Each structure stands twice: as structure tokens, then as C-alpha cells.
Structure 1
Amino acid sequence: MSELYVSFEFFPPKTSQMQERLWSSIARLAPLEPDFVSVTYGAGGSTRERTHETVARVLKETSLSVAAHLTCVAATREEVDDVLRAYWEIGVRHIVALRGDPPGGPGEPYRPHPGGYANAAELAAGARNIAPFEISVGCYPEKHPDSPSLAADIDMLKRKIDAGASRAITQFFFDNDVYFRFVERARAAGVGVPIVPGIMPVSNFAGLRKMADICGATIPGRLVKLFQNLDEDPATRQLVAATVAAEQCLALAEQGVRHFHFYTLNRDELAYAVCHMLGVRPKPARNADAAA
């Protein structure tokens, strides 16, 4: 098997305890030399300052390449452009351009901000006008909840790529056939950029159900059975979760996938374990052999 690449997504912490958890996770995963790490941007720009602070600290205190998420929600073009300029000034060279969720949460229809970027394709184009950012965008193998069809989704993805994006990262999924069917349709539509599978190791099954409902991801019945009655048994749940995620990634790798993007939820254990099983491990110290 040729070399595999990984990337990790984190979210900006709200409390000092969550801050400690985040930086402990970053410290544990950094030696795996990820292609990049990304930091999310809350609905309606609600985490703007915390996202910026987290990104700045990653740049300052680590050697990691960091991608800053940015959305179109609740901001004018000028406000978003100011954020982009501020990121470029501190050394951010990679943006994850997303439409974003409505400020009111699930169930509220999305409405572009007056004077703002209407969608991620416009945001990607705007970012490229500000500076030569590397741009990643999102995609939904099972269709975006707000999209009229999968064909419309793929058309929007093509618009994002035409606007300057060089990578698409999928929403999480658990049926690999769903991913490969989506990639096949995207390729047929002329999308040639890497389509990186987003992997969500199951740290909390009840929480996963809620996220899946919001983003339109299907949880197969086999997973429901596997995690049944494990809510009060975190040790067993952890073992099952690592096994499930590793099996999914290994099956994807066997069919040619070489990059995996892990939604860590600011926890390192499952992502680290899955990477280990994929053969993505810390590089041995250069002088280890000589010291021996």
C-alpha cells in the first residue's frame, strides 16, 4: 500500500477545560505529521474570535499547516474579506470555504446575508481575489439537506471547483459505496480534484444520531446494533468505535483512497488508534538507530 495522508478537524474551545483537552489532542496527533489540521467556524460566525485565536496559536506553537474554516453566514462581503485578510497576515494559507448553517440552527431556512456571499462558490472566488489561498470545500455524498437533488449538489461542487477550490472534503458517511457512487458521479460531471472522505469515529452514539439527522447522513442498522447498550460502557464503546472506523478506512484504502480527514471532536484517542491501524505513525527519531 502506498503512503497514506491524514488531516484532522478541531473546533475552538469554549472553556479552559475544553482548551486543555484540545491542546492535549493536538500534541498527541501532531507527531503523525498530518497534511493539515483545520479549525471550524461556528454557525453564524459565532466562534469567529475563538477560531482566529485557535488558528493563530496553532501557527505560533506548532509546525502544523492549519486551515481556517470560514462561512458566508451573518456577515457582509466586506466583513468576510476582512477576516480573510487577517488570516493571510498571520500566515494562514489554507481556507475551508463553506456556506455555513443558519444562525437559528436546524430547521431554519438558509437566507444569504444582504450584501454577503451567497454560497461557498462565491466565497471561494472571493478568497482567491484576496490572496492565493489554498481552498478546500465541503460536499455531501448523501445530498445536502437543503439541496433539491444530488445532481444539484454536484453542480454546486463543480461551481466551487471552478471558483478556485482544489480539494473537496465529504461530510461523514458509513457506507463506502455511497462515497464511491458520489465520486463516480462527480468525475462524470468533470470534477477532477481530490474528494477526501470525512471520517467520524463514534465517540458518542446519541450525539452522532443528532449530527446525522442534521446533515442527512445515514447510520446503517449494523452500526445501531453494534453500539446498542454501550452508552454506559465507554471502554467497550471505544474499542468498537476504533474497530468500526479502522475497518471503514482500510476498505477505502484498498480501493485506492489515500487521504482521510478525521472529525476529531477535539479528542485524539480514536483518530490516533485508527491512524495506527492504517500504518500512519510517528516517524522514528533520526538518531534512534545510532543511539541503540
Structure 2
Amino acid sequence: MSTTNIPASSQWAISDVLKRPSPGRVPFSVEFMPPRDDAAEERLYRAAEVFHDLGASFVSVTYGAGGSTRERTSRIARRLAQQPLTTLVHLTLVNHTRDEMKAILQEYLELGLTNLLALRGDPPGDPLGDWVSTEGGLNYASELIDLIKATPEFEQFDLGIASFPEGHFRAKTLEEDTKYTLAKLRGGAQYSITQMFFDVEDYLRLRDRLVAADPIHGAKPIIPGIMPITSLRSVRRQVELSGAQLPSNLEEALVRAANGNEEANKDEIRKVGIEYSTNMAERLIAEGAEDLHFMTLNFTRATQEVLYNLGMAPAWGAEHGQDAVR
């Protein structure tokens, strides 16, 4: 696959993608994480081919703590964009000065990577730890948005932000969380992608809060972030890292499926998890979600199983007579 520079015009703006008609019941998109080695990176590209064939509306690439995956993030995003896939790059403020942020933005612009998710980011080593400012750096995602909007050469960037159905754990109240989210939307962000959540009511109440507080900017698309559940251990770890809550009824169902031995009963755990994720997606579609954003952990099977259950993808695996999974 070619690795020459791509023109910015080859990428749709995510805010425009969300307005386009979908061949399926609803558009879907996927999140990738920069892998740790070359073998894992090749697996990511194979997964990207699958999601390209399944018609993903866009893909996103996360950004390692403190810029630890900066080079790999930009290389992966560049290659995905050439697939071609509309590609969203995450960018955090952690351990970067203001000048470094401008240099990164200029690099993305030159690569044609003009879809950006503006994030403050988590402290390295402890995502739930105290935020430590970088000398000469920025402290809030809203400041990154202001920087972009105040710089004429960055006008091509289409901006998204994170939103939090249960409220950001650093916000004292849901009202405070709403205020900060709206400040970023008013500042120029066109949409948000939620942190993973497991109770659709939390997503709906977030949507209600934003619209009630600002009928114009609060009505911008809120894309639900869904992590298909395949393992009790994994979902507990993801919840621990994100600060999200695992509903007691879901955890109890997964524990019953494990029956005291997660490894021996992993297929039963997966069955419960995929069914739960499918039911979440069905409800979100019924409630008018503009897109379903799947957090894939760089795998394809679980997301494709949910999509199949929704009538949006072939059944998983070669035994079904198709090659959607290579």
C-alpha cells in the first residue's frame, strides 16, 4: 500500500459523514489503538480491511499517553486514510507544550488528516490520577479548540470532542459536566463521541441535558461509544481505567455465565456480552443515534457479531461462506 502524502480533499469531514445516507440501518464506525509491535500493527490493517468492506463510515485512531504513540498514530492514520477510510485522529494535551501542539497539528494537516478529536487526555500511568500541567502547555481541550480556531492555517480541521454519559469523573455535578461539554461545542466542535457506557439511559439523559441547556449547540451529534463485551476480566479492566460504571444486572449475568471459571466458560460469557451489546445498539438505533462507534481493541469478530445481529453484516467466519474476515 502506498505511503505517499494524501491530499486533505481525499478525506470527508466527519461532520459531513454523519449527514450522509447510510446503506445500513445506521452508520457505524470503529476505534483502533496504536499497537505495540509490527505484528500487531499488521493485524490492525487486516481488521481495517474488514471494516472497510463492511462499510464503516469512519475509523478513529487513539493517541498514547504523553504522546507515547505519536509516530505510530500518525503512520497508522495515514495508511488507513489511503485505504481509503475516512480517518479521525485523537490528540491529547499530555506532556506537550503549546508549540509542540501546533507542530503536531501542522504535521496532521500536511498529511491530510483533518478530522481531529480534541482531548485533554489522561495522566500517564494512572488514567484516574491527578492532572499535572505541562509547562508551556494547555490544560483543557477547550483551549486546544481555541488554538485551532484562532489559527487561520488550521481552518480545515473538523473537530470532535469526548462526552460522558455518566458525567466526567472530575466534574463535581452533571450540571458542571454539561457546562464544560457545551463550552467545547460552542467553541467549534461539531460533534462528540462518548466514553464507553453500558446503560442507554445514561446516554439519553446526556442528550437531554445538552439540548435543554443549549438547543443549538447541544443538539450537535452525540455518537455513542460501544465496547462489545467478550470477557468479564476485560470489561472490568476497561471500566476501572475509564471510570465508567458496570450495571449490576450486567455484571451479575456475566458472573453467572462464568460460573466460577472464566476460562472454561468463556463462550458463555461472550454470548451474554454480545447479546447485551446488541440490545444496547438496538435501543440506540431506535432512539435516533447518528452513528454507532465500536471500540474494537483492534479485533473484528465481536463488532461483526453485533453488526450481524443488527442485520448490518454477514455472519462471522469462513464457515458461513464469505470472506469478510480475512
Task: Output the TM-score relative to the length of structure 2.
Answer: 0.81
Deviation per residue, 1:146-189 (Å, 9 max, x gap): 12221111111111111211011111111111111111011111
- Flag as ranges the 4+ runs of structure 1 deviating above 6 A: none
Deviation per residue, 1:1-37 (Å, 9 max, x gap): 9840111000011113312321221111111222210
Q: How does 1:266-285 map to 2 (within 5 A)?
A: 266-281=298-313
Deviation per residue, 1:178-218 (Å, 9 max, x gap): 11111101111111211111101113322221221232211
Q: How does 1:116-265 map to 2 (within 5 A)?
A: 116-128=137-149, 129=151, 130-190=154-214, 191-228=218-255, 229=258, 231-232=262-263, 233-265=265-297
- Higher mean alpha-carbon deviation, 118-127 vs 263-272, is at 118-127
Aligned to 1:288: none
Matches of 2:109 and 2:56, distance apart in 1: 21
Question: Does 1:82 pair with 2:106?
Answer: no
Amino acid at match of 2:235: L
Q: Which runs of 5+ in 1 are unaligned?
A: 283-292
Shift in Å, 1:278: 2.2
Shift in Å, 1:114: 2.1
Aligned to 1:7: 29
Amino acid at match of 2:206: F
Task: Kindly indicate whether the alpha-carbon contact (under 8 Å) linking 2:222 and 2:290 is maintained by their aligned counterparts in 1.
Answer: no
Task: Kindly indicate whether the alpha-carbon contact (under 8 Å) linking 2:230 and 2:273 is maintained by their aligned counterparts in 1.
Answer: yes
- Higher mean alpha-carbon deviation, 171-180 vs 198-207, is at 198-207
Query: CA 1:253 to 1:14, structure 2 compared with 1: closer, same or farther past 3 Å?
Result: same
Matches of 1:152 and 1:58, distance apart in 2: 37
SS in 1 for 2:142: helix
Shift in Å, 1:80: 1.0
Root-mean-square deviation (CA), in Å? Answer: 1.8
Amino acid at match of 1:231: E
Q: Which runs of 5+ in 2 are unaligned?
A: 1-21, 315-326
Amino acid at match of 1:219: L
Matches of 2:145 and 2:57, distance apart in 1: 21
What percent of counterpart residues are identical? 35
- Higher mean alpha-carbon deviation, 201-210 vs 266-275, is at 201-210
SS in 2 for 1:184: helix
Amino acid at match of 1:74: N
- Higher mean alpha-carbon deviation, 121-130 vs 152-161, is at 121-130
- Higher mean alpha-carbon deviation, 122-131 vs 190-199, is at 122-131
Shift in Å, 1:101: 0.4
Task: Kindly indicate whether the alpha-carbon contact (under 8 Å) linking 2:94 and 2:134 is maintained by their aligned counterparts in 1.
Answer: yes
Shift in Å, 1:107: 4.6
Question: Does 1:58 pair with 2:90?
Answer: no
Task: Kindly indicate whether the alpha-carbon contact (under 8 Å) linking 1:112 and 1:119 is maintained by their aligned counterparts in 2.
Answer: no
Matches of 1:263 and 1:107, distance apart in 2: 20
Deviation per residue, 1:18-57 (Å, 9 max, x gap): 1232122111111122221000001111111111111111
Amino acid at match of 1:35: S
Amino acid at match of 2:199: D
SS in 1 for 2:219: coil
Task: Kindly indicate whether the alpha-carbon contact (under 8 Å) linking 1:172 and 1:199 is maintained by their aligned counterparts in 2.
Answer: yes
Shift in Å, 1:145: 1.6
